Structure 1
């Protein structure tokens, strides 16, 4: 996966806002896996992945409906943002152990 910036986390959190809470963890893991798959595809072919884009988390997220971005006074959005960060930490830890 390409380096993750604030906009990537925000886009993924906005996708999670559109999903029922019990489905958010699985959806987040899926977007990260799609970004990683796309990044590998770009590295191997020099072309964008036809479905998941350039290997960024934002590209993987933007293939789905996004909620309007609320402020951090929205508890549900904060929880979604936290979910994305938690999954990114797990991804980075597993990547360094591989």
Structure 2
């Protein structure tokens, strides 16, 4: 996966907020996986992945419905943002141990 910036996390959180709450955890893992697959594809071919884009989390998130970005006074948005960060930490820890 390409380096993750604030906009990547925000886009992913907005996609999660648009999804039903019970599906958010699985969707978050899927978006991170898609970003990683796309990044590998770009590295091997020099071309965008046909479905997942350039290997950024933002590109995979933007393949989905995004809600307008709320402020951090929105508890559900904060929970989605936190969920993305938690899964990114796990992804990077697992990557280092692989």
- TM-score under structure 2 length normalisation: 0.99
Runs of at least 5 residues in structure 1 that lack an aligned partner in the other structure: none
Aligned pairs for 1:44-83 (under 5 A) are 44-83=44-83
Return the TM-score normalized by structure 1. Answer: 0.99
CA RMSD of aligned residues (A): 0.3
Deviations 1:21-61 (A, max 9, x none): 11100000000000000000000000000000000000000
| Distance apart, 1:72 and its partner CA | 0.2
Show the counterpart of 2:35: 35
Number of aligned positions between the proteins: 98
Q: Distance in 2 between matches of 1:5 and 1:27?
A: 19
- Deviation sequence 1:49-94 (CA, Å, 0-9, x none): 0000000000000001100000000000000000000000000000
Alpha-carbon distance between aligned partners in 1 of 2:68 and 2:18, rounded to the nearest angstrom: 10
Residue 14 of structure 2 is aligned to residue 14 of structure 1: yes
